[in-house]
Each structure stands twice: as structure tokens, then as C-alpha cells.
């Protein structure tokens, strides 16, 4: 099988718990996502979202360096963030600190996927 030519990128998943009210608020979710991206020094291009009935939101930002997808399950108080970026600055050393500052007081789990 022929090898895939893959550009260098970083892939992280961030998981945390939050109140159901926050996880069903599009404004809260956008504010937190934009704060996270700003502190990571990642430029956004545009975003799109979908609000599920009765609860839940999916929010996707196209970044100048790839994308971030955010999904909420308010009924489980669960927030899932999937970040893929090809910026040259390594994020592994700072993503946990920044995520903890954005989602204060919450337990944060971060997974980095290496390809």
C-alpha cells in the first residue's frame, strides 16, 4: 500500500463537565471557544452551529490553520472539543494550562493524538 503524504498537524481532544444551562447556551459556548482560540493564538475564519431540540449544540470553527469542532450534551453535563491545527507552534506544552484557565474549576481531560 502506498504511503499517505500527510502535512504536519496537531490533534487534541478536550473533555470537561459543565452546567446544563451553559452547555445549551450558544453565546456561552462561542465566548469560551473564542477565548480558548485567542489564548492559543489561533486565527478563526468563520463558524457555523446547530442547536438540537430539546438540548445540545454543535459548533464548528474554520481556522486559518484547520478546524475546531465543539459538541455539547447538556443532559450529561458533557463538553467535547476536537481541535486539529497545522500551526507551527507546538501546543502540547500550553493547551492544558490554557484550557484550565478558560474552563475554570472544571476537571479537564486532554488527549493528544499522534499520527
Q: Active-site residue 50, yes or no?
A: no
- Across the chain, mean pLDDT equals 94
Q: Choose the catalytic residue: 66, 67, 80, 101.
A: 66
Beta 44-51 vs 10-17: how paired, if at all? Answer: unpaired
Please indicate whether residue 63 or residue 9 has the higher confidence score (pLDDT).
63
Q: Active-site residue 66, yes or no?
A: yes
pLDDT tens for 19-28 read 999 999 999 9
- DSSP 8-state code for residue 55: S
Domain of residue 18, residue span: 10-58+69-84+91-113
Q: Active-site residue 67, yes or no?
A: no
- Residue 17's CATH number: 3.60.90.10
Mean pLDDT of 64-70: 96
Q: Choose the catalytic residue: 11, 58, 65, 86.
A: 86
Residue 4 is assigned to a structural domain of this protein: no
Please report where in the chains the cell 447538556 appears, as a residue: 74
Q: What cell does 31 get? A: 465566548
Q: Rounded to 10 degrees, what is the CA torsion of 35, 78, 71, 99? A: 30
Checking if the pLDDT of 100 tops 80, the result is yes
Amino acid at each position: 500500500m502506498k504511503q499517505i503524504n500527510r502535512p504536519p498537524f496537531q490533534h487534541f481532544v478536550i473533555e470537561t463537565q459543565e452546567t446544563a444551562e451553559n452547555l445549551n447556551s450558544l453565546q456561552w459556548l462561542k465566548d469560551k471557544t473564542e477565548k480558548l482560540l485567542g489564548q492559543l493564538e489561533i486565527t478563526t475564519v468563520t463558524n457555523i452551529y446547530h442547536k438540537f431540540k430539546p438540548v445540545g449544540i454543535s459548533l464548528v470553527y474554520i481556522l486559518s490553520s484547520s478546524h475546531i469542532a465543539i459538541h455539547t450534551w447538556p443532559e450529561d453535563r458533557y463538553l467535547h472539543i476536537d481541535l486539529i491545527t497545522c500551526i507551527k507552534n507546538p501546543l502540547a506544552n500550553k493547551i492544558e494550562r490554557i484550557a484550565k484557565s478558560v474552563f475554570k474549576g472544571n476537571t479537564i481531560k486532554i488527549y493528544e493524538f499522534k499520527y
